[in-house]
Amino acid sequence: MVSKTFLMVKPDGVQRQIIGDIISRFERKGLQLVGAKLMRVTTELAEEHYKEHKGKPFYENLIQFITSGPVFAMVWQGENVVDITRKLIGKTNPKDAEPGTIRGDYCLYVSKNIIHGSDSEESAVREISLFFNEDEILEYNKDIDVWIYKS
């Protein structure tokens, strides 16, 4: 099923200037970028986004980190996009993330793991609506899709 997901290059990824590399990985898989912006996450937005982790030992640090500099927020669309992007991102802790995944290739610590990706269809819908207005998400056709999608 074609659906959308929310992906975000965290402040460490923006500072390390790997936004382009990360976008390339999703583009070459055949996924479609339908929304994107460089932005700062307010403490209020960070707390809402990460509310499932409130009370955990790493929560305060996580909120501090995600608000510490600009992030690059994106909406991607495609077949099974939530599962596929989670696979391309790799395990939460970079020490367990396989080589070839983004976290496996670019980082060392769980507290600086470069990228966020929604973990389910429900969180994707919730997170997209937290970060994007409807008019910031575009619908457009790509002729190349006849070579990517089955008929």
Q: Which of 140, 145, 131 is nearest to 39 (CA)?
A: 131
Q: Site for ligand GDP (CB under 6 A): which residue of 21, 79, 119, 136?
A: 119
User: How many degrees, rounded to 5, is the angle at CA 98 between CA 86 and CA 36?
Assistant: 35
Positions 51 through 70 that interact with ligand GDP (CB under 6 A) = 53, 58, 61-62
Alpha-carbon separation of residue 38 from 8, 12, 104, 108 (angstroms): 10, 13, 24, 24
| Residue 19 engages ligand GDP in binding (rule: CB under 6 A) | no
Q: Are strands 2-9 and 115-117 parallel, antiparallel or unpaired?
A: antiparallel
Q: From CA 44, how far away is CA 131, in angstroms rounded?
A: 12
Any binding-site annotation on 58? yes
| Residue 92 engages ligand GDP in binding (rule: CB under 6 A) | yes
| Residue 4 engages ligand GDP in binding (rule: CB under 6 A) | no
Strand order across the beta sheet in which 71-79 lies? 32-39, 71-79, 2-9, 115-117
Alpha-carbon separation of residue 149 from 13, 22, 27, 29, 104 (angstroms): 30, 22, 14, 11, 28
| Residue 47 engages ligand GDP in binding (rule: CB under 6 A) | no
| Residue 110 engages ligand GDP in binding (rule: CB under 6 A) | yes
- Select the span of 55-63, 69-77, 81-89, 119-127 touching Mg ion (CB under 5 A): 119-127
To the query of whether residue 53 is one of the catalytic residues in this protein, the response is no
What does 64 interact with, of ligand GDP, Mg ion, none (CB < 5 to 8 A by kind)?
Answer: none
Sites of contact with ligand GDP (CB under 6 A): 53, 58, 61-62, 92, 110-111, 113, 116, 119
Binding site for ATP, by residue number, is 10, 58, 86, 92, 103, 113
Catalytic residues: 116
